[in-house]
Structure 1
């Protein structure tokens, strides 16, 4: 038996604004864009990980009003999601994302537990960390 991660959902305020970050700054590709009931689900992914997809959706997309309101409140506070990406060139990735206008939370630093990493907020306030494996 084998098991693997297929989808990760990230709640965002505006899928179009979020694409400017995830597609244009991070270099992820759009794989699907579905409209339903006045909302959109945009699926993106890394060209190097074809079996893993990230779904961007608004707080109320496919949810009850109460659940959507709760997600919106957490998203507004900036405490809803933290996503960790890995890159082979942290400094170049950091500069590309910073140049996109993303809010920098932490410039690249060497962590005591091994990796070198940095952190940003996406346009909806989700924390995005990007790491590079320690050099052997």
Structure 2
């Protein structure tokens, strides 16, 4: 089994796609007006409008953003990324902080309230883990 994609469902797909393009520095590939993807070397971030949920059945609730899951991106310098992110969102949850497990971490929310973590390994053990 291989995890290949994470899908975010949003009420405002234009706003969400624009946010992720700016946050991760990639251009989205649009497939329809309700679905776009941003592909990294390791995973694809798929973004769908709430209308796409109807294709999966009638019993799915509308998403209001995750309060218990965090989408994480390994970045080369979290402090540099923070300068970009603080101008992109007013929802910085935690400014760059070195965590006990050796990552320097920046936690913020996307336009739908999903938690996003940009992190850079800084301890010797964390650096080894991600090399």
Q: List gaps (5 residues or longer) in structure 2.
A: 125-131
Give, in whole Å, the separation in 1 of the partners of 2:23 and 2:99. 24
Q: Deviations over 1:87-109 (max 9, x none)?
A: 01100111101111341011000
What residue number does 2:14 align with? 16
Which of these residues, 26, 30, 34, is aligned with residue 31 of structure 2?
34
What residue number does 1:129 align with? 117
Superposition CA RMSD, Å? 2.0
Deviation at 1:135, TM superposition (A): 4.0
1:79-90 to structure 2, matched below 5 A, reads 79=67, 81-90=69-78
Aligned residues: 122
Q: List gaps (5 residues or longer) in structure 1.
A: none
1:69-88 to structure 2, matched below 5 A, reads 70-72=61-63, 75=64, 78-79=66-67, 81-88=69-76
- TM-score w.r.t. length of structure 2: 0.80
Q: In 2 relative to 1, CA 80–12 (structure 1 residues): closer, same or farther, beyond 3 Å? A: farther
What residue number does 2:38 align with? 44
Q: Deviations over 1:8-61 (max 9, x none)?
A: 21222211101221102321231x3122xxx61111123xx1x52111012341
- TM-score w.r.t. length of structure 1: 0.78
Matched, 1:96 2:96: no
